[in-house]
A and B are shown apart, each in its own frame.
Chain A
Amino acid sequence: MTDTTDAGRSTGSSAVPDRPRLRMATAWLGGCSGCHMSFLDLDEWLFDLTDRADIVFGPLADIKEFPADVDLTLVEGAVTNTDNLELAKAIRANTRVVVSFGDCAVTGNITALRNGMGAPDAMLERVYVEHPDLAGVLPTEVVPELLPTAQPLHELITVDVYLPGCPPSADRIRTALIALLDAMAAGEPLPRHWRGPEDRTFGN
């Protein structure tokens, strides 16, 4: 699951020699990582996936900068702070197909519960100052600044495909990835509104 050169791409694709290897990334914005846990629930199918695509960026690969020339990126989480916004823009600038991955990216979901409270100061006060078990001070170092509201990904960058669910089940992720990778490898239009095995969109 590392970045490879063009020359290296042919070595891992013996299982499916007639398909070009794609460059895939995942990203973790304002979410709980549950979508990535569900992604890991793909278990041994991850080997099939890496036969077809290199995973070149994500919380599961220790690469600091979002790379150029990525074919497909799954983006988990709402855009809730300045780091999320910066990464979202870098993803859009360097990715052909951006997938809004999970309910937080698609609707804001749990991450956006704070929006109804108004400015983020109210939530920070509630969590860090009013909470009896914490030190009673607002965190200011290392952590990025919160945006005024947590927003769905498509409010800030153009999204090509939506894969909702909290989290999307491994079956649904697999169904979507197979459909997307097949279409991209064949140069066909992207499939939308595929039905996962559980026939659900939002929620779990």
Chain B
Amino acid sequence: MSLTPPRPGGPRPNVPVILDGEEVLAFDGETILDLARRLGSPIPTLCYLDGLSVHGGCRLCVVEVNGDNRLPLACATPVSSEMDIRTDTSSLRDHRRRVIELLFAEGNHICASCVSSGACELQDLAAENDVDHIHYALEFPRIDVDATHPKYVLDRERCVLCTRCVRVCDEVEGAHVWDIAQRGSQSTLVAELGKPWGDATSCTWCGKCVLVCPTGALSFKGRSTGEMRHDPDVIAFLARLRDEGEWIDREEPAP
């Protein structure tokens, strides 16, 4: 396992931790997820997206840390000195399978009739984590589809409540069209506090929510089964440009 070469003039990793049995150095304040990804140790995630704030809602990225009887979230937990972290144990794999199965059980995730089949993070997570059936009784909820927007469709039956759309609309686009209404199993994605999406005048039609959706919940209108392709990685690109001030005119143009 190779460490990132020290960046000249920049901070160097100087926090000693144990990651899956190996002694490594983390940057001060680095999260467990960032450390693991930097060192090529895969931790499954769903609600996490580079470029957005941390939500910590899907509970897929949980890890084991010696001396902690809870399962900390890799995405939201900064490393501390001498932390002994395990990212892939049989108990963690079991836990992750259960989380994925519960997501399938509470919605109507029928891949065979989904726009995102073949390019869906939930479908991929099921395959990667050996979910070949659902132990829990399936809910088969009746949830409305909102196809009122001229360009996009919201299929709430396929929503996993990851809030990527809520966050990207608020944090990157600055429109804050989306929110989660209700609580618990009644939680549902709403536009402008409960309006049909087509009536939401704050929506700029930018489509970032559609790009970041991990499932078939948000899609371009008119896509048929298996035709939808999302592009969540574009958000990290936009966030970097914003952080580096790319959109700020540095010089007044000559008159």
Contacts and interface: CB of A to CB of B under 8 A. Distances in A.
Contact of B111 (A100, A108, A118, A166): A166
A162 B108 CA distance: 19
Contacts of A202: 109, 111-112, 123, 126-127
Contact of A100 (B113, B117, B133): B133
B11 interface: no
A199 B118 CA distance: 11
Contacts of A193: 130, 132
Interface stretch (B17-25, B39-47, B137-145, B159-167): B137-145
B9 to A, nearest CB: 43
Centre residue among B110, B114, B117, B133 by max chain A CB count within 10 A = B133
A98 interface: no
Given A204-B112, A204-B117, A204-B226, A107 B138 contact: yes
10 nearest A-B residue pairs (beta carbon): A203-B111, A166-B112, A115-B140, A116-B142, A193-B130, A162-B132, A203-B117, A162-B133, A202-B111, A201-B127
Nearest to B114: A203
A54 interface: no
Contacts of B130: 192-193
A155 B112 CA distance: 21
Given A199-B127, A201-B131, A109 B112 contact: yes
A129 interface: no
Interface residues of B, number: 26
B126 A149 contact: no
A203 B133 contact: no
B183 to A, nearest CB: 22
Interface in A174-204: 192-193, 199-204
Interface of B: 104, 108-114, 117-118, 120, 123, 126-127, 130-134, 137-138, 140-143, 226
B138 A204 contact: no
25 contacts: A100-B133, A103-B110, A106-B133, A107-B134, A107-B138, A109-B110, A110-B112, A113-B113, A116-B140, A116-B142, A149-B140, A152-B133, A159-B133, A164-B132, A192-B132, A201-B123, A201-B126, A201-B132, A202-B112, A203-B112, A203-B117, A203-B118, A204-B111, A204-B117, A204-B226
Contacts, number: 77
Contacts of A152: 133-134, 138
Interface of A: 100, 103, 106-110, 112-113, 115-118, 149, 152, 154-155, 159, 162-164, 166, 192-193, 199-204
Contacts of A166: 111-112
A166 B114 CA distance: 12
B190 to A, nearest CB: 20
Contacts of A108: 138, 140
